[in-house]
């Protein structure tokens, strides 16, 4: 066993619980109800009840189920919503900024400009005065999500147990989501608010600058990662020239989609939405599955090696989008570096909540460490 493998995550039977928030939910329903009374028609008298934490996947925003009844036009209305809530600073959030207004606007525009199945967004609370941090409400969608914990390719779940034809239907339909998003006419203009005001002459260079800043934010809490330093040096020295920029979903993986009959009914989690070349999204989808396959290989599990293969994704994307994507090597290294930063932040949070002890080196926090090392070696990153 290599050092990378010995520092990898615990075996499948271990407890994968990750605490995301120290928020006391006791006053949340009343607080939301008071706020809704100011945005609903006069005399609505909303009543709010809170369900469980929906956020079985993901490691970032708080996601709460919110049921609301109110009076409008003399009739009782009932709504089933999801609240996306920015985490509090004291809970060591993954990102330095959650840009919830940008997320809200991105989802709204995607719903208007495409047939992509995004939830309808309803109301935005940008000030943080109601719950302590900003949040927005969107319609709740019913469907199934491929699990992250334990990963879907570990077995014993609806996607793993599906037939190859069903799995391929889900795969192709999800690649189709990317094709639709990237085909939005003048997407770079409509979503210009997602382009960060940081150094760089192109959206991709600015994207990389923001990632560098995000890494330094993570370093401040937990220390430097030799692997991420190595990866960023190589990425910054080899930024590809991108002739076209499109709306990129960002966290483009099947764990952020709700499905009904293996068809997307809810495309979720827009925290990483940006402008850039289409390869950002395509490579992320490929890489996300590679991470999970890397884990099953280490644990000598069968995994799903015929699912979400790069060649198949590229071919389906070219068929649906009418565009061939370029080489994905740089973009997969970039995805691997970003995943490493996520693990730095979630590791810092686990330390904060007493779930783990600090390992001997920061890189030991990376569930994909061996894969990141392999990608850096393959691309000649010094």
Q: What is the CATH topology of the domain spanning 144-378?
A: Aminoglycoside 3'-phosphotransferase; Chain: A, domain 2 (3.90.1200)
d(CA 268, CA 48): 23
**Helix-, strand-, coil-residue percentages of the chain, each rounded to 5:** 45, 15, 40
Q: Are 174 and 257 in contact (CB under 8 A)?
A: yes
Q: Would you state the pLDDT for residue 91?
A: 86
Q: Which long-range contacts (CB under 8 A, 24 or more apart) does 75-84 make?
A: 79/122, 79/139, 80/139, 80/140, 81/122, 81/137, 81/138, 81/139, 81/140, 82/54, 82/119, 82/137, 82/138, 82/139, 82/140, 82/141, 83/32, 83/135, 83/136, 83/137, 84/135, 84/136, 84/138
DSSP code of 241? P
Q: Would you state the pLDDT for residue 22?
A: 56
Q: Is 251 a catalytic residue?
A: yes
Token representation of residue 127 = 């000030």
Token representation of residue 79 = 């709504």
pLDDT by residue for the chain (382 residues), tens only, comes to: 233 333 334 433 333 444 445 556 788 999 999 999 999 999 999 999 998 654 444 456 789 999 999 999 999 999 999 999 999 888 889 999 999 999 999 999 999 999 999 999 999 999 999 999 999 999 999 999 999 999 999 999 999 999 999 999 999 999 999 999 999 999 999 999 999 999 999 999 999 999 999 999 999 999 999 999 999 999 999 999 988 999 999 999 999 999 999 999 999 999 999 999 999 999 999 999 999 999 999 999 999 999 999 999 999 999 999 999 999 999 999 999 999 999 999 999 999 889 999 999 999 999 999 999 999 999 988 8
Q: Would you state the pLDDT for residue 49?
A: 96
d(CA 187, CA 209): 21
pTM of the model: 0.91
Q: Which residues are registered as beta bridge partners of 71?
A: 76
Got the DSSP string for 107-168? HHHHHHHS---PPPEEEEE-SSTTTSS-EEEEE----B---BTTBGGGSSSTTTTS-HHHHH
Q: Would you state the pLDDT for residue 90?
A: 87
Given 55, 148, 195, 251, which residue is catalytic? 251
């Amino acid at each position: 066993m290599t050092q990378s493998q010995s520092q990898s995550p615990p075996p499948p039977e271990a407890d994968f619980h990750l605490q995301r928030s120290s928020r006391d939910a006791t006053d949340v329903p009343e607080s939301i109800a008071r706020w809704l009374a100011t945005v609903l028609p006069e005399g609505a008298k909303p009543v709010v009840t809170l369900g469980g934490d929906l956020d079985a996947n993901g490691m970032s925003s708080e996601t709460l189920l919110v049921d609301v009844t109110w009076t409008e036009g003399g009739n009782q209305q009932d709504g089933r919503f999801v609240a996306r809530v920015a985490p509090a600073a004291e809970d060591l959030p993954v990102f330095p900024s959650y840009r919830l207004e940008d997320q809200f606007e991105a989802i709204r525009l995607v719903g208007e400009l495409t047939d992509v199945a995004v939830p309808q967004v309803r109301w935005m609370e940008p000030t943080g005065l109601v719950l302590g941090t900003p949040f927005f409400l969107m319609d709740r969608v019913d469907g199934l999500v491929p699990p992250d914990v334990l990963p879907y390719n570990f077995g014993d779940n609806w996607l793993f147990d599906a037939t190859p034809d069903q799995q391929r239907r889900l795969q192709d339909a999800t690649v189709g989501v990317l094709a639709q998003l990237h085909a939005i006419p003048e997407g770079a203009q409509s979503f210009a608010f997602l382009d960060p005001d940081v150094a760089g002459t192109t959206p991709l260079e600015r994207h990389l600058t923001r990632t560098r800043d995000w890494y330094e934010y993570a370093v401040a809490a937990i220390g430097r990662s030799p692997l991420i330093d190595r990866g960023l040096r190589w990425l910054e020295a080899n930024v590809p020239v991108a002739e076209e920029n499109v709306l990129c979903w960002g966290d483009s993986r099947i764990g952020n989609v709700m499905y009904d009959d293996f068809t997307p009914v809810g495309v979720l989690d827009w925290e990483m939405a940006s402008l850039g070349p289409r390869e950002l999204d395509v490579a992320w989808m490929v890489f996300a599955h590679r991470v999970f396959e890397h884990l099953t290989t280490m644990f000598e599990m069968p995994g799903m090696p015929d699912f979400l293969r790069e060649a198949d994704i590229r071919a389906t994307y070219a068929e649906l989008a009418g565009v061939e994507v370029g080489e994905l090597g740089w973009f997969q290294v970039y995805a691997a570096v970003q995943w490493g930063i996520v693990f730095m932040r979630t590791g810092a949070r686990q330390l904060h909540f007493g779930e783990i002890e600090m390992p001997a080196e920061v890189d030991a926090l990376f569930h994909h460490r061996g894969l990141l090392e392999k990608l850096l070696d393959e691309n000649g990153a010094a």
